[in-house]
Amino acid sequence: MHMGWPPVRRRLRAEALDRMAHMVRLAVAAGVGAAGQRYAGVARRMSTRHRLRMPYEMRMMFCKKCKTFIPPGSGSRVRLGSRPRAVRVTCRRCGHIYRKVLGPRR
């Protein structure tokens, strides 16, 4: 198509976010092997290139420290703590622990 780019950047971003989510789904389906890391890498580059902030569910699949794709279960250990109510994600590769404190129960 040579009709030019849509003028609305927001739509491009929404589409990029869609593709990024799709890549993450492919990565999750592929697992922690080479294919999964490749899909995850594409998703991460898209987030950088389009300056898209990954939603939390996607972000928690990447280790903050070693940047590896760590899907819950095979790549990371996810534990729920009670006091304070928090999710603890442990990277199985480098052992980095990422804690996200959840708000008080409503």
The footprint of Zn ion (CB under 5 A) covers 63, 65-66, 91, 93-94, 96
How big is the CA angle at 17 (ends 57 and 92), to the nearest 5 degrees?
35
Q: Whole-number minimum distance, CB 45 to Zn ion, in Å?
A: 18
Q: Which is nearer to Zn ion, 38 or 93 (CB)?
A: 93
CA distance linking residue 93 with residue 74, whole number of Å: 10
3-state secondary structure 37-64: HHHHHHHHHHHHHCCCCCCHHHHCCECC
**71 within 8 A of 87, measured Cβ to Cβ:** no
CB of 66 to Zn ion, least distance (A): 3
Residue 8 or 34 with smaller CB distance to Zn ion: 34
- For Zn ion, give the closer residue by CB, 12 or 94: 94
- Among residues 17 and 47, whose Cβ is nearest to Zn ion? 47
Rounded least distance, CB 55 to Zn ion, Å: 20
We find the least distance from the C-beta atom of residue 75 to Zn ion, in angstroms, to be: 9
Rounded distance, CA 96 to CA 64, Å?
A: 8
